[in-house]
Structure 1
Amino acid sequence: MREIKGLNDAISVSIVDPIISDQGWMFSEAPGAIPDWVNHTQYLQEIYQFAANYRLSKSLELSTRPISAS
């Protein structure tokens, strides 16, 4: 689909190693896997942790923002 829409340069794809490790799914250079070249993470759980931390920081930012009278 990315190729059909001409989005190969705009949207990357990473594929975890087909064998899960003790620390979860790992991005590797094993056959069939594609490393995470965008975020440079080693494990899929790092992506989830980053997303959770981002959501939390945005929630805190919104909850501490002063209410405008306008």
Structure 2
Amino acid sequence: MKISARNILPGKVVSIVRGPVSTEVTLEIAPGVQITSTITSTSAQALGLKEGVQAYGLIKASSVMIGVDD
């Protein structure tokens, strides 16, 4: 697999919440560290996502915003 994203986070699928249009997928990328993504349900099915399966979180953003409390 070759992709242009610089941030590739390998992990294990720990939760899947399927909906008619979108599916929420949670990956555990380190002990106690999870990331969640919302993808189309069609994509989730095509990828064969199930709890316990190894997958990658790919993050590509043109900007990252930083904020602080007042």
TM-score, normalization by structure 1: 0.24
Task: Pick the structure with greater CA Rg.
Answer: 1
Structure (1 or 2) with the greater strand fraction: 2
What is the TM-score of this pair, normalised by structure 2?
0.24
The structure that is helix-richer by fraction is: 1
Highest RCO, 1 vs 2 (Cα 8 Å, sep ≥ 6): 2
